[in-house]
Amino acid sequence: MAIPRVIILSEIMRGKTFELTKDLYTIGRTDDKDVVIPDGTISTLHCELIKDGDSYIALDKNSTNGTRINGIKITEQKLCNSDILQVGGIEILFDSEDKANTTSITTQTAIDLEHSAGSFAKGKMSNIDRTKSGQVPGEETKKSKKAFIIVISFLVLVVIALLILLMQKLLS
């Protein structure tokens, strides 16, 4: 069997490979760790990889930004071939070449289409395409400018009327 390894997938160190030959590996952002990743989303001691038979267990060490495997937050979980270990904002591929122990990666979404579809009223969505609601794009802006001019004109007339009244009082 080939030696298990982790491969950094994220841009900061993309392609950097660490072969796992020891029983314990520490992952963090400081130089005293086995796997050093100088990234602000990673804690000083973010997680550990502990040998478990032919594989490893990922153990979060109370990191600030958490440890995830295939997008799911974990505190401790066995790694399977092709798992994506995420420490902070960095993604790492676990490659054990043990094809019998492979995780199938699925896309997850937090959108519940059955329940959220009813929350959108058709009338509220008519503003997406103004041409369907009878309005021409830009027409609303023209109306706003026209209303602004009318309000300003009215205020100017009020000020003029007050000035005239004031002048009459002063002259009398």
* 117: its two tokens: 């579809």
Mean pLDDT, residues 85-95 taken together:
96
Q: Does pLDDT of 35 surpass 90?
A: yes
Q: How many CB atoms lie within 10 A of CB 134?
A: 8
| 14, pLDDT greater than 70 | yes
Does this model's pTM top 0.85? My answer is no
* Residue 139: per-residue pLDDT: 60
Judged against a pLDDT cut of 50, whether residue 138 lies above it is answered with yes
Closest CA to 50 of 19, 28, 79: 79
99-125 pLDDT per residue, tens: 555 555 444 444 444 444 444 444 444
The answer, yes or no, to whether residue 127 has pLDDT greater than 50, is: no
Q: How far is CA 73 from the centre of its chain?
A: 15
Please write down the HEC assignment for all residues of 53-94.
Answer: CCEEEEEECCCCCCEEECCEEECEEECCECCEEEECCEEEEE
- Name every residue whose Cβ is closer than 8 Å to that of residue 48 and which is 6 or more positions away in sequence: 24, 25, 26, 27, 58, 59, 61
Beta bridge partners of 26: 48
pLDDT score, position 155: 92
Within 10 angstroms of residue 73's Cβ, the number of other Cβ atoms is: 11
